Structure 1
Amino acid sequence: MKTTNAIATVTANGQGRKLNILGHSVTIKLQRKETEGNYYVMEVITPAGHGIPPHVHSREDEMIYVVEGNFMIVLGEQQIQAGPGDEIFFPIGVPHAFQNIGDKPGKTLWTVVPGGNFEDFFEELNALPADREPDMGKVIEIFANFGMQVLINAPA
């Protein structure tokens, strides 16, 4: 019988560690300690018109399940509209971005594999001031420190 140090966990609706990641309300559902770093699961509430800039990962795959709302997804060279029930897979090395194109907040469920890197990445993004637009130079630096490249230039 295989043994594991993973922790059997139930994270109830509305429960989990709450973070503000670049204006998104993020609730961590499963973190590194529970999954031995194998994956990381989070619920993300994205305000209308808001998104994440184009970027590419060198260490993780990401999967998004759309629970509520409508999103424009950039997946490599493709632009795809995604709505409730749609699942999107962003493999390592494929540039991607997303934006809530609806008129109300959208809800997505994200799984990141492996998940060990993401917890520290999110802690650094969460530490940025939430009361103003983020310093994109600092955001780009944080992404780079965790093996991700933002595909826009920092303002001069």
Structure 2
Amino acid sequence: MQTQPLSGGIVHQSQGKNFYLLGHSITTIFSQQTTQGAYYVFEVVTPPGLGLPPHMHEREDEFIYLVEGKLEILLGEKTFLAQAGASIFFPKGVAHAFQNASSKAAKAIFTVVPGANFEAFFTKLAALPPGTPDLPQIIAIFAEYGMQVLLPETA
């Protein structure tokens, strides 16, 4: 199959597709269609105290630039505090998580490489009904897209 060369483009502030995902506001900047699946770039605004549970990607590396706020970062078995201006790298195969560690919303730009499946993953998660998340359903969606949610072991 022959692909067309990428033509590039500009996305101005507030022009991307906006949706909510598990309490986070997401704005797509460069879709997987724009990049032919090479990567997916999106902005995440995370309310105070909110985050994502520890999980691991089988296929994607994730890069984050923290624009505003503070995030508590879990990377492998270590925890870090990232502040505005920090850059974070979550390699595939390494457990990671983040949580807003401040009293104000945190804003970050995420780049996922490759991006071919990530946008469909987000679309499926965003379609879940509002309210208390159905954890088994969320875990199943993560698994469908090659990601594993890492729940704490219970005694």
TM-score by length of 1: 0.93
Deviation per residue, 1:47-84 (Å, 9 max, x gap) = 00000000000010001110000010000011000011
Structure-2 residue corresponding to 1:139: 138
Deviation per residue, 1:1-38 (Å, 9 max, x gap) = xx843242211111201121111000000011110100
Matches within 5 A, 1:92-131: 92-130=92-130
Structure-1 residue corresponding to 2:61: 61
Identity of counterpart residues, as a percentage?
A: 51
Structure-2 residue corresponding to 1:28: 28
Structure-2 residue corresponding to 1:151: 150
Structure-2 residue corresponding to 1:14: 14
Deviation per residue, 1:86-109 (Å, 9 max, x gap) = 000000100000000100111000
Distance in 2, Cα, partners of 1:138 & 1:7 = 38
User: What letter matches 1:75 in structure 2?
Assistant: L
* Structure 2 gaps, min length 5: none
In the alignment, is the contact (CA less than 8 A) between 1:5 and 1:36 conserved in 2?
no
Q: Aligned-residue CA RMSD in angstroms? A: 1.2
Distance in 2, Cα, partners of 1:6 & 1:20 = 28
User: What letter matches 2:80 in structure 1?
Assistant: I
Distance in 2, Cα, partners of 1:64 & 1:32 = 17
Distance in 1, Cα, partners of 2:4 & 2:83 = 36
Aligned residues: 150
Structure-2 residue corresponding to 1:47: 47
Distance in 1, Cα, partners of 2:22 & 2:9 = 27
Runs of 4+ more than 3 Å apart: none
Distance in 2, Cα, partners of 1:60 & 1:135 = 24
Partner of 2:33, secondary structure, is helix
TM-score by length of 2: 0.94
In the alignment, is the contact (CA less than 8 A) between 1:140 and 1:149 conserved in 2?
yes
Segment drifting more, 3-12 vs 76-85? 3-12
